[in-house]
Chains A and B, each alone.
Chain A
Amino acid sequence: MTRVIEVPAHFDDRSFDQFAAGFGAWPQEEKLLVDARAAQWASPYGLIGMLTAGQAIAEAKGERPLFTVPTSDEVKRYWARVGFFRHAADLFELHGRVPKAAATGPSDVLLDVTPVRAMEDVHQVVEKISETASRILHGELGLERNATMRFSMALSESCQNIVEHAGTSGWVAVQVYTFRRRLGRRVAVIAVSDAGIGFRRSLESTHAKRFGERWGDGAALEAALIQGVSRFRDPGRGQGLAGIKGFLDRWKGKISIRSGSARLSIVPAWDDDLPLADHLPFFPGAQVQITIPAQEAESR
């Protein structure tokens, strides 16, 4: 039997749970087919979420899943240009014609889909993004001039979390697009995902006891994002997320972290997401989305 997992037509952080629900129990025992034929658009969060699923299956020694590429030529071209298919080919058996990636990515992509395997990759990501971020963050989104540095700091800390906590590698992508339904403005989105052990297992040995019966994916996310705890005994740890929260407060941005079966968000006024969503369909590792909206004219 082959289990078919449909990729949502509009695949972002909101429709991610629908994608996660398609997998049922982990680890997978059935052959999987990830069906993206009907996909019309995917955010960076959606794109690296699909790669994370493929990675998790590969690392669990599962059978290599099938992947049917989008029918839409425009969607296929875009996914190729941001580097999705280049990495997907290593994790899935691709079905359907995949266009060659253009030499340069789309102008709204700050960072192609990029693997994060080691600290050296974090350096590369930060060096790469600093070349283009200023034009978009200041020029297009109206953030203050030195916002590029703060944005890069948020990116660096998010990627380091993969290397330090996941126990495996992960993915990052950064893109600018328009939040039509939720905000009606342009946003810069940092998406980071890994197929690792997740927040609950990472923090369990040092923090579970304190939470007692409340301990679970949601409590672990709360401990990390709200209380700033870390699995390391070093008292200086856990400040990366605290720093990111400070920037987002200034920019009226949003951070959302999904791990296991929970998602915790710091929700700005423009969004109606739940601060804590629990009992979600399980998905391996952790997925982070940082959303920074274009600043309103009066705040510029």
Chain B
Amino acid sequence: MIETIQIGHLLRETAAFPYRNLVTRPTGAAVRNRIEDTLSRSDCLTALLDFSDVELLDFSCAEEIVAKLLLAQASHRPRFVVLRGLREDQHDAIEQVLTHHHLAVAALITDGEPMVLGWVSPDARVAFACVCRLGRACTGDLADALGWPEPRASEALEALTLHRLVRPEGNLRYPLLVA
């Protein structure tokens, strides 16, 4: 099950004025609290955060919303988190704050392939793209598709699993969402 959360909608509900820009730490923290509140009442396995009606996302809000949400998810009830509707400048902010924390998140880019934002190895990025392309993969599938030795494919899949960038079912790994 997927819980889709419109971040722009939450911003307008949270702020005193109808702002389009996600700026300042208190605003980011307030929006994150609303997200956590929604998720606490949901049985979903995956949270899809939709940024498509947000204009600006500054570093402080990227930190307060995305990084702290991932950190909290890791320590409470683990969910898969996917971002959608991000523009290039918004990637910049999220990429920087997640790299700082050694975190990563899957993102669906408008008119583009699913991608990883944050801190993962180059191999894990390639493996992520490959799993998305194949629809599902075990270590052997990945090794075959990329021409890698199995230990290398295994290590990359393990990294994706640890970062909750793919959904594990037995030996198989599935993309969180399809673009």
Contact = CB atoms under 8 A, between A and B. Distances in A.
Contacts of A152: 21, 23, 56, 58
A149 B24 CA distance: 15
Interface in A120-149: 120, 122-123, 126-127, 130, 146, 149
Range class of the A interface residue count: 20 to 34
Contacts of B96: 239, 242-243, 246
Contacts of A240: 58-60
B58 A157 contact: yes
Contacts of A146: 87-89
A149 B89 contact: yes
Given A119-B26, A236-B100, A236-B101, A156 B92 contact: no
A243 B17 CA distance: 27
Interface residues of B, number: 30
B56 A156 contact: yes
Nearest to A237: B63
SS class, residues of chain A in contact with chain B: helix
Interface string B153-167: 000000000000000
B79 interface: no
Nearest to B90: A149
A156 B60 CA distance: 9
A127 B93 contact: no
Interface string B1-38: 00000000000000111011101111100000000000
Contact of A127 (B16, B20, B27): B20
A150 B92 contact: yes
A160 interface: yes
Given A119-B24, A123-B24, A156-B24, A243 B59 contact: yes
B67 interface: yes
Given A123-B21, A127-B20, A239 B55 contact: no
B70 to A, nearest CB: 11
B63 A156 contact: no
A160 B92 contact: no
A236 B17 CA distance: 27
B125 interface: no
B176 interface: no
B56 A149 contact: yes
B97 interface: yes
A156 B23 contact: yes
Of B19, B23, B57, most A-chain CB atoms within 10 Å: B23
Q: Which of A153, A243, A246 has the most CB of B within 10 A?
A: A153
A126 B101 contact: no
A243 B21 contact: no
B97 A153 contact: no
A212 interface: no
Contacts of B136: none
Nearest to B24: A119
A123 B27 contact: yes
Given A123-B21, A153-B93, A160 B60 contact: yes
Contacts of A243: 59, 92-93, 96
A164 B92 CA distance: 23
Nearest to B101: A236
Interface in A199-246: 235-236, 239-240, 242-243, 246
Contacts of B20: 127
A126 B56 contact: yes
Contacts of B87: 146, 149
Interface of A: 119-120, 122-123, 126-127, 130, 146, 149-150, 152-153, 156-157, 160, 164, 235-236, 239-240, 242-243, 246
Given A127-B19, A236-B100, A239-B63, 4 more contacts: A127-B20, A130-B56, A152-B23, A153-B58
